[in-house]
């Protein structure tokens, strides 16, 4: 990976996963890596296969100086909107670190409000900074785990396949079976069905 910043054990990388899907929580992770680590193939989680992400996630948790994963659920997303819910999840991930970082690198162009340590937003940081790449992997694997758990409860929706994104299959399932409490009621495709009274009844 192209890394423009040195790896500093006192610094944390922060990233999120799950802003776009129609269902479930948005997840964020914060990771502090040691000066020396062995994470072959580390890069933005979206560029990795699921198998590789799962492998790297386990290695990151073993090697990290500190790591934390947090989320904001669909009710918070509806209450605060997806952007602000994501910022809340990021702040929780930072607060959950067992070691207070001296600085935080956040993927993207926005910083969560109210952070207690200096922070810098880094556009495409998941391709530039190892700790952000690691955070992107932990956030993504946590988000996928939630989708697999939801798929076990509601197998007819196919969450294990589309991971909650608005695919043709997911939209068809919404039409056929209705909306779950875990769906994001303020997202347009869900909101449209909600107005038609398409609520799932267990």
Residue spans of the domains in the chain: they are 11-150
Integer Cα distance of 28 and 69 in angstroms: 6
Q: What is the pTM of this model?
A: 0.93
What fold does the segment set 11-150 form as a domain? Nucleotidyltransferase; domain 5 (3.30.420)
Q: Which two tokens stand for residue 131?
A: 């700790």
- Phi, psi (5° rounding) for residue 28? -140, 150
3 state SS of 155: helix
Q: Quick one: average pLDDT of 56-78?
A: 97
Query: Are residues 26 and 72 in contact, defined by beta-carbon separation less than 8 angstroms?
Result: yes
For 106-119, how does the pLDDT look when each residue is reduced to its tens digit (9 = 90+)? 999 999 998 989 99
Integer Cα distance of 124 and 147 in angstroms: 25
For 165-179, how does the pLDDT look when each residue is reduced to its tens digit (9 = 90+)? 999 999 999 999 999
């Amino acid at each position: 990976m192209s890394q423009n910043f040195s790896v500093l054990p006192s610094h944390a990388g922060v990233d999120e996963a799950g802003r776009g899907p129609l269902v479930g929580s948005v997840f964020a992770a914060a990771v502090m890596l040691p000066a020396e680590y062995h994470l072959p193939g580390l890069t933005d989680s979206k560029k990795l296969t699921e198998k590789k992400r799962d492998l790297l996630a386990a290695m990151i948790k073993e090697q990290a100086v500190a790591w934390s994963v947090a989320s904001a659920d669909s009710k918070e997303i509806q209450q605060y909107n997806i952007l602000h819910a994501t910022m809340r999840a990021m702040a929780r991930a930072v607060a959950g670190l067992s070691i207070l970082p001296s600085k935080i690198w956040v993927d993207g162009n926005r910083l969560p409000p109210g952070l207690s340590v200096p922070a810098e937003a880094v556009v495409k940081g998941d391709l530039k900074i190892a700790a952000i790449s690691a955070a992107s992997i932990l956030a993504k694997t946590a988000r996928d785990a939630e989708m697999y758990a939801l798929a076990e409860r509601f197998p007819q929706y196919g969450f294990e396949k589309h991971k909650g994104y608005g695919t043709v299959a997911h939209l068809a399932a919404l039409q056929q079976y209705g909306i779950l409490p875990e769906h994001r009621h303020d997202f347009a495709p869900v909101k449209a069905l909600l107005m038609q009274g398409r609520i799932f009844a267990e």
